[in-house]
Amino acid sequence: MPANCAAFSQVEYDRRLAKTRAAMAEAGLDVLFVTDPSNQAWLTGYDGWSFYVHQGVLVSMEGAPIWWGRYMDSQGAKRTCWMSLEHIKGYADNYVQSTERHPMQDLAKHIADLGKAGARIGVEMENYYYSAKAHAVLSAALPDATLVDATALVNWQRLIKSDEEIGFIRKAARISEKVMATAMDRAAPGVRKNDVVADIFHAGITGVGGDWGDYPAIVPLTPSGLDATAAHLTWNGAPMREGEATFFELSGCYRRYHAPLCRTVYLGKPPQEMLDAEAAQLEGIAAGLEAARSGNRTCDIAQAFMDVLAKHGISREGRMGYPIGLSYPPDWGERTASIRSEDETILQPGMVFHFMPALWMDSWGLETTETILIKENGAAEALCDVERKLFVKD
C-alpha cells in the first residue's frame, strides 16, 4: 500500500491496536471479529462504501490485523489499509446474497487457518452490520469455538481522542461552520427545502481551503414548523414559510471525522414562548459547558443543564449528547457513553462529545448544540465558532 494512503501515522495505528488487545485480554478473548465499519477504519484505515455486504477485521493477540471482505472490495482495502497485502483477504462473489453459501463460511476457514477454530472469539452482536444469520452461520461453521458478545469493545477504546484525531475533528468543525453559514444564508420564505439542502451538501463536500469534505454519517436534518417537533426528519420539496422555525442538524466531515452542530432559524417574529425557551436553553448550555470538566461525569453535564431548565419551568427527558469522532452511516455517534442523568462515565481530556440539549415542544423545535472537547484544565471547548442563538430572519 502506498504510504500516503494511510490517514494516520503508524504510531497511531499501533497505539489503537495495543489498546484493543489490552481490552481483549481483559475480556478473555483470543480473537476479535470487528464488523462496525467505524471500528474497522479506526484499526486498519479501511475506507469504502462496502458495508452493505459482510466484511470485517480479525484481531488476534499477535501480528497485524486481517481485513476480510468481498474480493472486489479487497482491492479498496489494499489502497486504504496500513497492513501488508497478506493481511487482506477477499471472498468470491458467489457468496454475495447467495442462498446456497454464506460469507461467514469463508471467514470460518480463515479463522481455522490461523489455528483459532477452537478459540474464544469476540463478535459485535449489537451492531448494525452483524446479522442474526451471520452469527448463526459462523457458530455452525466453528462448532469448537466460543463466540462471545464483544459489542462496543473497540468503541470504548475510541473514546479518548489522540492529538491526530483532534486535528481531524477541528478540520471537520471548520467545514461545519461553513455548512451552517450556508444554511442560515439560504433560509428564506419561498425557498424550497431541497434547494437549501443541495447547497448544504455542496458546501460540505467542497470543504474549506485544502481540506476537502467527506460525506457525513447522517444526512442533513432540516424540519420546519410542526415537523420540527420530531427529532430526525430530513427534507422535502416544500418551500420554507414565514412564521415557522427550522432547525438544521448538520456536520462537516473530514476523512470520516465529524463535528456535529445544530442551529435554529425563525422566519418572521418568533413567539414569546420560543424566545423564553431560547434564553433557558442558552443558560443551560453555558452551565453544561462549565460542568464538562475533566474529573466530572457525563451525568454532571446533563444535571447542570436540567437544573437550569427546571428553574425556568421547562420539562425535558432523554439524553443530551454522545461521543463523536470517526463514523459511517447511519450514525455519527460512537454508541458508548451518554450525556444523561444515569450515565457516570468519568470525563477525561481528549474526549469529544456532541452536546445536544435540544428542545422539542408541542408545536416547534429548538436545536442549539455544540461539539465539545474535554480539556486538561478548565471547562470544555466548543470546537465550532458559530454564534449560539436563535437566528431570526424577518
Do 151 and 170 have their domain in common? no
Peptide bond into 330 cis (omega under 30): yes
4, pLDDT greater than 80? no
- Here the cell at position 27 is 475480556
Average pLDDT, the chain: 97
Q: Are 350 and 360 in contact (CB under 8 A)?
A: no
Question: Does the pTM of the predicted model rise above 0.95?
Answer: yes
What mean pLDDT comes out for the span 91-96? 97
Residue with cell 477541528: 170
Do 364 and 297 have their domain in common? yes
pLDDT for res 5: 76
What mean pLDDT comes out for the span 386-394? 96
pLDDT for res 6: 81
Residue 231: which H helix or E strand, with range? none
324, pLDDT greater than 60? yes
What mean pLDDT comes out for the span 9-31? 98
pLDDT for res 1: 43
Domain encompassing residue 342: 163-393
Do 145 and 189 have their domain in common? no
Task: Give the count of beta carbons closer than 10 Å to the beta carbon of residue 46.
Answer: 28
105, pLDDT greater than 60? yes
What mean pLDDT comes out for the span 70-95? 97
- Length of the chain in terms of residues written: 394
SS3 123: strand
Do 240 and 266 have their domain in common? yes
Predicted confidence band of residue 106 (pLDDT cuts 50, 70, 90) = very high
Do 227 and 360 have their domain in common? yes
pLDDT for res 155: 98
Do 27 and 91 have their domain in common? yes
What mean pLDDT comes out for the span 7-22? 97
Do 194 and 96 have their domain in common? no
Do 108 and 177 have their domain in common? no
* Domain stop point among 131, 157, 183: 157
51, pLDDT greater than 80? yes
What percentage of the chain has pLDDT greater than the value 70? 99
CATH code of the domain in which 93 resides: 3.40.350.10
Do 73 and 128 have their domain in common? yes
What mean pLDDT comes out for the span 66-77? 97
Give the Cα separation of 240 and 188 in Å (integer): 6
Tally of structural domains, the chain = 2
* Domain stop point among 157, 172, 191: 157
Task: Give the count of beta carbons closer than 10 Å to the beta carbon of residue 22.
Answer: 11
pLDDT for res 194: 98
CATH code of the domain in which 376 resides: 3.90.230.10
* Domain stop point among 133, 157, 181: 157
2, pLDDT greater than 50? no
Do 294 and 148 have their domain in common? no
Strands 88-91 and 56-60, sheet pairing: unpaired
233, pLDDT greater than 80? yes
Give the Cα separation of 77 and 71 in Å (integer): 10
Do 151 and 167 have their domain in common? no
* pLDDT tens per residue, range 153-167: 999 999 999 999 999
Do 237 and 314 have their domain in common? yes
